[in-house]
Amino acid sequence: MEQSKALFDFNLVLIGFMGTGKTTISNTLQHIFAMDVIEMDQMIEEREGMSISEIFETYGEQYFRDAETNLLIEMQERKNVVISCGGGTPLREVNVAEMKKNGKVILLTAEPETIFERVKDSHDRPVIEKNKNLSFITELMEERRPKYEAAADIIIHTDHKNEDQICEEIIEKVLASEEARH
């Protein structure tokens, strides 16, 4: 699947719990559709000159959350880019409003067991670092689920699908939702 021309002029905003594959899928979309990717976590890390864990430790979570909000507002000037959010970005109502101004919000989901397997060996997620077990992850996912679902224009279940299948499903659903709007 090769595509050089932009299929749409809005942004694709990927949301979902940690480990649902936002970064991986953004990179695949970038390769297939030649779309630029804004990896929010990475951009904030670069600007602050420290890791997410260090930002949490040094300035606290609120500071990081404010940086996310400011970045989303800034990104409204961009068109046809993939914005890969941090797992907590859609928890603030204002962030969801900002995402929707020029973006289609795509929620990636996965089973808690899948998430646990993906995150268990990494140490760059301060929200779960001290509680990296299946029951904590399951609980936090359930707690966040209503907010994720309320924010989503499109929901993609990722379990048992490969990256290409997930990207095709995203594009199909995005185009179908655009057709339904016109």
Question: Where does this chain bind ligand S3P (CB under 6 A)?
Answer: 18, 22, 41, 52, 86-88, 125-127
C-alpha 133/C-alpha 44 separation (Å) is: 27
Rg (CA), the chain: 16
Residue 121 vs 179, nearer CB to ligand S3P: 121
Tokens of 134: 């299946």
* Signed CA dihedral, 28, 144, 69, 44: sign only: negative
Compute the least distance from the CB of residue 22 to ligand S3P, in Å. Answer: 6
* Signed CA dihedral, 138, 143, 146, 147: sign only: negative
Residue 74 vs 172, nearer CB to ligand S3P: 74
Compute the least distance from the CB of residue 35 to ligand S3P, in Å. Answer: 18
Compute the least distance from the CB of residue 52 to ligand S3P, in Å. Answer: 5
Residue 143 vs 172, nearer CB to ligand S3P: 143
Residue 122 vs 177, nearer CB to ligand S3P: 122
Compute the least distance from the CB of residue 2 to ligand S3P, in Å. Answer: 28
Angle (deg, nearest 10), helices 93-102 and 134-151: 50
Tokens of 3: 């595509």
Q: Which residue is nearest to ligand S3P (CB)?
A: 86
